[in-house]
Amino acid sequence: MTVENVDRKTILVVEDEVVIAMDLQATLIDLGHAVPTIVTSGEMAVQVALELRPDLVLMDIHLSDAVDGIDAAAQITQALDIPVIYLTAYADEETLQRASLTTPFGYILKPFEARELRANIDIAFYKHGIEKNLRENRQWLLTVLNSISEGVAASDASGLIKFMNPVAEALTGWSQTEAIGRSPTEVFQFIDEFTRSLIENPLLKSLQDGNTIHLPENALLRTRLGHETPVSDSASPIRNERGLVEGSVMVVRDSTEQRRMEAQLEHNALHDALTQLPNRALFLNRLQQAIDRARRLPEFGFVVMLLDLDRFKVINDTLGHLLGDRLLMEIAPRLKSHLRTVDTVARFGGDEFAVLLEDITDVTTACYTAERIVDELKKPFLINNYELLISASIGIVQSSIPYENTTDLLRDADIAMYRAKEQGRGCYQVFDAVMHRQALALMQREQALTQAIAHDELRVHYQPIVSLATQNIASLEALVRWQKPGDGLIYPDQFIALAEEMGAIATIDQWVLRQACQQLRAWQHLGTGAWAMVDGRITRLPNSPSPSPTMAINVNLSSNHFTQKNLVDTFAEILRDTGLSGDDLKLEITESVFIENAKEAAAMLTQLKQLDVQICLDDFGTGYSSLSYLHQFPIDIVKIDRSFIQGMDIDSEKLEIVRAIIGLCHTLGMAVTAEGIETAQQHDILLDLGCEYGQGYFFARAIDGATITQSLNS
Ligand code: C2E
Ligand code: CA
Ligand code: CA
């Protein structure tokens, strides 16, 4: 055996028989170990061991000293983690018993052989190494388990608690010492937050099933003192190398904070951040439940109130959003003060609120509540030293109308609310059968108009605009008609307003524009030469001056159009597609454009002018009749509304108004068209006043394109 093969260890030999000690030392050195000294007494042995810190102690049990081998070994192993092997020639039961208490790593009977000595030492080192390893591993695991923020508990194969870390102790109120050996059902009591029933213990269940078990979402852990903590948890079986379940381990987490955050998130998703009232989503949910309930239970009734503040926009715009927000915040408690806790009051956004009154079958109760709310909101609000006075309009819908969905119900509440607004500020209105019928009729008309557009039922008729000086046709105004199958021709007064409300007007106007452009282009191809009215018919003059004056078309544009961003591009495209130039086209707009979309409109008109398109101000005199903006917008022609023209031949006041308008327009460099000329006398007066153009039944009514083409050819 070569010395190099041996892991060299330092061994302390304690032996009071010097011969044996020397022999041992020699043998050990032979085996490749270091034996720096030999000790002969127990007392010395302890002292030297502490100084020398050997790797192993060979200890004679029987020392002649006061401190015998067992005592010395006990003291040494208490202070140091060193394996001890006893040497003994004989031993009585009692000595062996005492010796075993010091957990020695071996006994060697004297006399012994080198081989035996070596085997014992090797085994002792091996065993000691493993034990040390195990101890360290366990320590490491314990440190981990004790320092993680989750509670950990483990049970043995019989399902009794074997381990609990400090977090588990804190969560349950049980100390590990008290808990060990008890059933998990006693230490960990999980209950369902809502049903309050006991939940099957996961530690036991995973042990039983051999699977990982999770607690249900709303579990509470009841502590030893009866306190309840929301927890989340999972438990898994512990298997040995052969796959047999030897116990189970459970991880419990205090989820108070997590549930608080979840609850907060859920609250935020369903509430208005400003007023903390339920939002539209939550309201719709509750409303749908009420609708479903009312359908199931005939005795259950509810009422919905839709509330809109009057003039809130003015307050917001003049005093600022911060103040507007403060006002909205103060409205919430006022609304609540007149409602029961079972009622839902929600903010739909902006200045719109909704109230759901449940278990109400009697509309007078609802009206009474609405009245009180209206009165409450009329009381002044004191915000930032401003005394603000507002009022609200309320639309009321009852469940006696059998609704199936929230959309229909809220649409009707909206209709009632607008009716209330029409009645003046601070009113409420109950949606009734009449409104229901009207709403239904409106819906049907909307559908019909949508179909008209889709089924190509719209037509364009053209009414001449005549130059009063030359009697030539300067332009043709395109006027839309609806050729409704079975109903004949429907005039725009019957459907333009509806189309505007539906948001379909842009489609119609652009369709009319394209039609009119195509038609004019077609007429241009038929030949040049001025057009005129001859014997009530449109005719092309044979020997018109050269170059012949161009005839344009006028197309009406709803003011809703000016909210469309790509308006100018669309128009340029239509002109390009149909091959017309800008000066073939005049667009008619009304004063409302300047009021509703002044900024956008001015910009768009300027761009349209760059295409050489002329702008006519239609129906002048009927709207705001404010002359102040006439020069602020690029207007070429003003059309005086026919209400001033009709009767101007007998009403001198009207005549003076028309004279003044013409004078003003000329001063501003604009031309004038008189609408609705029906008599020769009106025509003559206008010619005298220097009015450039005229339009009216005196010249011609609006005629369809095919008829015009025919009369041109004949
Ligand atoms: P408007 O632009 O003022 O068009 C003139 C209206 O007066 C036309 O009615 C025309 O038929 C009528 N009219 C012409 N001369 C006389 C007359 O001597 N006496 C009387 N009593 N009436 C006369 P219409 O075609 O029913 O159009 C009504 C309104 O509908 C138009 O008024 C215009 O505002 C609108 N409209 C027509 N077509 C369109 C369109 O394509 N788009 C848009 N947005 N509106 C259109
Ligand atoms: Ca017009
Ligand atoms: Ca007009």
Q: Given a cut of 70, is residue 189 above it in pLDDT?
A: yes
Residue 570 burial (10 A CB sphere; 0-12, 13-18, 19+): middle
Q: What is the mean pLDDT of residues 427-449?
A: 87
Q: Given a cut of 90, is residue 46 above it in pLDDT?
A: yes
Q: What is the mean pLDDT of residues 255-276?
A: 91
The better pLDDT of the pair 356, 310 is held by 356
Q: Where are the beta strands (DSSP E) in 302-431?
A: 302-310, 344-349, 352-358, 381-383, 386-388, 391-398, 428-430
pLDDT tens readout for residues 80-100: 999 999 988 877 888 888 888
Quote the CA–CA distance of 477 and 115 in Å, as a whole number. Answer: 126
Q: What is the mean pLDDT of residues 586-614?
A: 88
Q: What is the CA radius of gyration of the chain?
A: 51
Ligand 1 contacts CB of residue 556 (under 6 A): yes
Q: What is the mean pLDDT of residues 2-7?
A: 53
Ligand 1 contacts CB of residue 30 (under 6 A): no
* Dihedral angle, C-alpha 614, 620, 625, 626, nearest 10 °: 10
Lookup: tokens for 73: 């070994």
- Between helix 280-296 and helix 406-422 the angle, nearest 10°, is 110
Quote the CA–CA distance of 427 and 256 in Å, as a whole number. Answer: 48
CB 155 within 8 A of CB 162: yes
Ligand 1 contacts CB of residue 496 (under 6 A): yes
Quote the CA–CA distance of 219 and 231 in Å, as a whole number. Answer: 6
Place of tokens 């053209």: 462
Q: What is the mean pLDDT of residues 27-31?
A: 91
Enter the DSSP assignment of 279. Answer: -
Quote the CA–CA distance of 353 and 346 in Å, as a whole number. Answer: 6
Q: Given a cut of 90, is residue 335 above it in pLDDT?
A: yes
Ligand 1 contacts CB of residue 492 (under 6 A): yes
Ligand 1 contacts CB of residue 479 (under 6 A): yes
Which residue lies with its CA nearest to atom 14 of ligand 1? 696
Q: Which atom of ligand 1 is nearest to the CA of 619?
A: 3
Closest ligand by atom to 640 CA: 3
| DSSP-derived 3-state class of residue 239 | strand
CB 640 within 8 A of CB 620: yes
CB 505 within 8 A of CB 496: yes
Q: What is the mean pLDDT of residues 240-258?
A: 91
Counting residues of the chain whose pLDDT is more than 90, the rounded percentage is 63
Which pLDDT does position 618 carry in this prediction?
A: 94
Instruction: Average the pLDDT over each of 1-5, 18-22, 673-677 and give the range with the smallest value.
Output: 1-5
The better pLDDT of the pair 190, 632 is held by 190
Ligand 1 contacts CB of residue 210 (under 6 A): no
> How many residues can be counted in the chain?
714
Strand 189-192 to strand 151-156: parallel, antiparallel, or no bridges (unpaired)? Answer: unpaired
Ligand 1 contacts CB of residue 618 (under 6 A): yes
Q: Given a cut of 60, is residue 5 above it in pLDDT?
A: no
Lookup: tokens for 33: 């170990």
Q: How confident is the model at residue 353 (pLDDT cuts 50, 70, 90)?
A: very high
Q: Given a cut of 80, is residue 563 above it in pLDDT?
A: no
Torsional class of 8: left (φ above 0), alpha (ψ -120 to 50), beta (otherwise):
beta
- Candidate of 461, 465, 479, 510 to mutate for ligand 1, largest count of ligand atoms within 8 Å of Cβ: 479
Which residue lies with its CA nearest to atom 25 of ligand 1? 479
Ligand 1 contacts CB of residue 493 (under 6 A): yes
- Residues that place a CB less than 5 A from ion ligand 3: 618-619, 675
Instruction: Give distance in angstroms: CA of 574 to centre of ligand 1.
Output: 23
Ligand 1 contacts CB of residue 491 (under 6 A): yes
Q: Which atom of ligand 1 is nearest to the CA of 460?
A: 41
Which pLDDT does position 6 carry in this prediction?
A: 57
Closest ligand by atom to 647 CA: 1
Instruction: Give distance in angstroms: CA of 496 to centre of ligand 2.
Output: 12
Q: What is the mean pLDDT of residues 93-114?
A: 85
Instruction: Give distance in angstroms: CA of 69 to centre of ligand 3.
Output: 126
Looking at 423-536, list the stretches that DSSP marks H as alpha helix, in order from N- to C-terminal side. 433-454, 496-502, 505-525
Instruction: Average the pLDDT over each of 3-7, 262-266, 564-568, 636-640 and give the range with the smallest value.
Output: 3-7
| DSSP-derived 3-state class of residue 321 | helix
Which pLDDT does position 565 carry in this prediction?
A: 79
Q: What is the mean pLDDT of residues 196-207?
A: 93
Give the contacts of 73 (CB within 8 A, at least 6 positions apart): 57, 59, 84, 86, 99, 102, 104
Q: How confident is the model at residue 479 (pLDDT cuts 50, 70, 90)?
A: very high
pTM reported for the whole predicted model:
0.55
Q: What is the mean pLDDT of residues 525-552?
A: 79
Lookup: tokens for 591: 């004063």
Q: Which atom of ligand 1 is nearest to the CA of 639?
A: 3
- Among candidate residues 457, 464, 501, the one with its CA nearest the CA of residue 479: 464
Which residue lies with its CA nearest to atom 7 of ligand 1? 676
Which pLDDT does position 143 carry in this prediction?
A: 87
Instruction: Give distance in angstroms: CA of 514 to centre of ligand 3.
Output: 20
Q: Given a cut of 90, is residue 316 above it in pLDDT?
A: no
Residue 608 burial (10 A CB sphere; 0-12, 13-18, 19+): buried
Strand partners, 108: 87
pLDDT tens readout for residues 211-237: 999 988 889 999 999 999 999 988 999
Lookup: tokens for 29: 């050195």
Which pLDDT does position 113 carry in this prediction?
A: 85
Place of tokens 């909206």: 414
Q: H or E segment at 12?
A: strand 11-14
pLDDT tens readout for residues 682-713: 999 999 999 999 999 999 999 999 999 998 87
Place of tokens 């509470």: 220
Q: Given a cut of 80, is residue 2 above it in pLDDT?
A: no
- Residues that place a CB less than 5 A from ion ligand 2: 556, 588, 618
Lookup: tokens for 601: 């409109």
Which pLDDT does position 446 carry in this prediction?
A: 87
Quote the CA–CA distance of 645 and 345 in Å, as a whole number. Answer: 55
Give the contacts of 319 (CB within 8 A, at least 6 positions apart): 386, 388
Which pLDDT does position 543 carry in this prediction?
A: 66
Q: Domains of the chain (ranges plus CATH)?
A: 11-141 (3.40.50.2300), 148-260 (3.30.450.20), 273-431 (3.30.70.270), 457-713 (3.20.20.450)
Instruction: Give distance in angstroms: CA of 479 to centre of ligand 1.
Output: 6
pLDDT tens readout for residues 607-658: 999 999 999 999 998 866 566 677 778 999 999 999 999 999 899 999 999 9
Strand 151-156 to strand 161-164: parallel, antiparallel, or no bridges (unpaired)? Answer: antiparallel
Ligand 1 contacts CB of residue 515 (under 6 A): no
Q: Which atom of ligand 1 is nearest to the CA of 491?
A: 26
Quote the CA–CA distance of 465 and 417 in Å, as a whole number. Answer: 44
Q: How confident is the model at residue 548 (pLDDT cuts 50, 70, 90)?
A: low
Lookup: tokens for 404: 């199936």
The better pLDDT of the pair 524, 465 is held by 465
Average pLDDT over the chain reads 90
- Candidate of 459, 496, 508, 561 to mutate for ligand 1, largest count of ligand atoms within 8 Å of Cβ: 496
- Candidate of 477, 481, 490, 556 to mutate for ligand 1, largest count of ligand atoms within 8 Å of Cβ: 556
